[in-house]
């Protein structure tokens, strides 16, 4: 077994490279993260042996010279170990066969020791109508779980190698049901009989710690009110090396006095004067996208609508909606005598009723 291949590093790797490789693989294969997985226990033992040899300059030198060989990790085992009819048997006992077979066949992992996906975080953000039209950025300040810096997210610290107290260094724990004796690998030391790690006190073995962070969230052009944005991986960090959750941002688009959105189209009201409606005009209109020119033909009626193609909101499909302009006839608030006389003359010339 090539220890360099076990850690996935080159033979000339530095001590730092070896340590980083070990931390990465330990988070993946540690028995507490993969309870009941025989292959994971074996792989973790191989990774640990490789690290202990290659991180020690003297042992690494002897290994490179072919004078030291890694130990073979013990195979994981669980099963019937015989009968014991002695009166002095002291071990864990249960009263039903249901408990026995549940442990033998199901062997459900302890949820406290398995990887868990991080929780999602939900926040709100408000943008103006123009920002929703053009696109913008918002900063969300959230308190989220990060991988613990004390243990690099593994939930454990290395300690001096000691015999496992749970199995008294044998690597096996025994349980008795009646006179039947069952043996299984010690869950605390993964069947090795030795302890080299302990739970991280900073994160209590969870591998995560809380920290406040400000996250920049891009708001795409054309976003609609009540739409939710997803920022992958910016939720809480996973427990014991699990994948992180996501950040969800619910966007509120503030209403605008001039514009109203309907799907991908934008509606607006354009006031026009009597002479513009009667004689026609070309009117410049300010929109969030710049100035557009609306052609009002002669004889335009109040309430008439004009559609300007692809002047509305940008769509996620790459196109654009339309700008719908509704003209509204507006009279001056005050009329002088000359204006009134001209309107009377206009009425005499165009005396037909407009109500039928």
- Give residue-wise pLDDT tens across range 75-123: 444 444 444 444 444 444 444 444 444 444 444 444 445 677 888 999 9
- Report the DSSP pairing between strands 172-177 and 281-287: unpaired
State mean pLDDT over 163-169: 80
Question: Where is pLDDT greater, at 233 or 172?
Answer: 233
Would you state the pLDDT for residue 1?
A: 60
CATH number at residue 174: 2.10.230
Q: Are residues 179 and 83 in contact, defined by beta-carbon separation less than 8 angstroms?
A: yes
- What Cα–Cα distance (Å) separates residue 163 from each residue in 36, 51, 71, 166? 21, 19, 17, 9
User: Would you state the pLDDT for residue 137?
Assistant: 95
Q: pLDDT at position 69, please?
A: 56
Please count the CA atoms within 13 angstroms of the CA of 348 that sit on its side-chain side: 5
Residue 286: strand pairing partners: 291
Give the domain extent around 267: 259-349
pLDDT (average), residues 11-31: 85
CA dist., res. 63 & res. 67, Å (int): 5
Q: Do 247 and 131 sit in the same domain of this protein? A: yes
Domain presence at residue 171: yes
Q: What is the mean pLDDT of residues 250-262?
A: 95
pLDDT of residue 77: 47
Helix (H, G, I), strand (E, B) or coil at 123: strand
The yes-or-no verdict on residue 225 having pLDDT over 90 is yes
How many CB atoms lie under 10 A from the CB of residue 356? 4
For the ranges 96-105, 170-179, 315-324, 338-347, which has the lowest average pLDDT? 96-105
What average pLDDT does the structure give for the chain? 80
320: three-class secondary structure by DSSP: strand
Query: What is the percent of the chain where pLDDT is above 70?
Result: 83
Neighbours of 346 (CB within 10 A): 12
Tokens standing for residue 273: 């004067």
| Residue range 39-74, pLDDT digits in tens | 777 788 888 888 888 888 888 888 887 765 555 444
User: If pLDDT is split at 50, 70 and 90, which confidence band does 215 have?
Assistant: very high
Instruction: Please check whether residue 93 lies inside any domain of the structure.
Output: yes
Whether residue 227 has pLDDT greater than 50: yes
Give me the mean pLDDT over the 289-316 stretch: 91
113 CB contacts (<8 Å, ≥6 apart)?
A: 32, 33, 35, 240
Q: Is residue 356 domain-resident? A: no
Same domain assignment for residues 32 and 3:
yes
Return the SS3 of 146: strand
How confident is the model at residue 127, as a pLDDT? Answer: 96
The SS3 call for residue 230 is: strand
Q: Which pair of tokens denotes residue 292?
A: 């557009």
Span 201-227, average pLDDT: 88
In a domain, 113, yes or no: no
pTM, 2 dp: 0.55
Claim to verify: residue 125 and residue 233 sit in the same structural domain: yes
Same domain assignment for residues 290 and 232: no
Kindly state whether residue 116 falls inside one of the protein's structural domains: no
Q: Per 3-state DSSP, what percentage of the chain is helix, strand, and coil (rounded to 5)?
A: 20, 35, 45
Quote the number of domains for the chain. Answer: 4
The pLDDT, as a whole number, for residue 305 is 96
pLDDT of res. 95: 41
Q: Check whether residue 175 and residue 278 sit in a common domain.
A: no
Domain with residue 139: its CATH number is: 2.60.260.20
Domain membership of residue 345 (yes or no) is: yes
Identify whether 114 is part of a domain.
Answer: no
Q: What is the DSSP string of 110-161?
A: PTTSS-BPPPPEEEEEEE-HHHHHH-EEEEEEEEEEEE-TTTTTSSEEEEEE
* Per-residue b or e along 290-319, where b marks 16 or more CB atoms closer than 10 Å to that residue's CB: eeeebebeeebeeebeeebeebbbbeeeee
What is the C-alpha to C-alpha distance for residues 189 and 151, in angstroms, rounded to an integer?
19
Shared domain for 264 and 312, answered yes or no, is yes
The CATH number of residue 15's host domain is 1.10.287.110
pLDDT value of residue 179: 54
**Do the Cβ atoms of 51 and 29 come closer than 8 Å?**
no
Q: Which of residues 19 and 188 earns the better pLDDT score? A: 19
Helix runs in 82-209, H state only:
97-101, 129-134
Could you tell me what percent of the chain has a pLDDT over 90? Answer: 33
pLDDT at 177 over 70: no
**If we measure between CA atoms, which residue out of 324, 6, 329, 320 comes closest to residue 134?**
320
The HSE-up count of residue 345 (CA atoms within 13 Å, CB side) is 6
Q: What is the pLDDT of residues 22-34, one digit of tens each?
A: 888 888 877 777 7
Yes or no: say if 254 and 127 are a contact pair by the CB < 8 Å rule: yes
Of 14, 7, 10, the C-alpha closest to 29 is 7
Same domain, 5 and 50: yes
Q: Which residue has the higher pLDDT, 92 or 194?
A: 194
């Amino acid at each position: 077994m090539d220890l360099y291949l076990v850690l996935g590093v080159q033979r000339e790797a530095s001590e730092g490279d070896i340590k980083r490789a070990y931390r990465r693989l330990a988070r993946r294969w540690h028995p507490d993260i993969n309870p009941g997985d025989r292959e994971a226990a074996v792989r973790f033992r191989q990774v640990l042996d490789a690290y202990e040899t290659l991180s020690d300059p003297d042992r690494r030198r002897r290994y490179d010279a072919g004078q030291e060989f890694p130990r073979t990790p013990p195979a994981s085992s669980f099963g019937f170990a015989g009968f014991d009819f002695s009166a002095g048997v002291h071990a864990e006992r249960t009263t039903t066969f249901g408990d026995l077979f549940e442990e033998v066949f199901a062997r459900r992992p302890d949820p406290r020791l398995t990887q868990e996906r991080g929780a999602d975080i939900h926040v709100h953000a408000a943008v103006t109508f123009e920002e929703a039209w053009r696109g913008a950025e918002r900063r969300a300040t959230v308190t989220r779980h990060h991988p613990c810096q004390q243990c690099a997210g593994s939930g454990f610290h290395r300690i001096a190698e000691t015999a496992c107290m749970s199995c008294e260094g044998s690597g096996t724990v025994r349980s008795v049901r009646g006179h039947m004796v069952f043996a299984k690998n010690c869950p605390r030391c993964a069947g090795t009989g030795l302890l080299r790690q302990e739970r991280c006190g900073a994160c209590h073995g969870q591998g995560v710690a809380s920290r406040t962070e400000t996250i920049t969230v891009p708001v795409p052009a054309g976003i609609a009110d009540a739409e939710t944005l997803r920022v992958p991986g910016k939720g809480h960090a996973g427990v014991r090396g699990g994948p992180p959750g996501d950040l969800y941002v619910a966007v509120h688009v503030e209403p605008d006095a001039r514009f109203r959105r309907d799907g991908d189209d934008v509606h607006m009201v354009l006031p026009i004067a009597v002479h513009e409606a009667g004689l026609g005009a070309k009117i410049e209109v300010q929109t969030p996208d710049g100035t557009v020119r609306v052609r009002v033909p002669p004889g335009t009626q109040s309430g008439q609508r004009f559609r300007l193609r692809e002047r509305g909101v940008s769509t996620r499909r790459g196109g654009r909606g339309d700008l719908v302009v509704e003209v509204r006839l507006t009279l001056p608030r005050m009329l002088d005598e000359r204006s009134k006389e001209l309107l009377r003359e206009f009425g005499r010339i165009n005396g037909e009723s407009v109500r039928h």
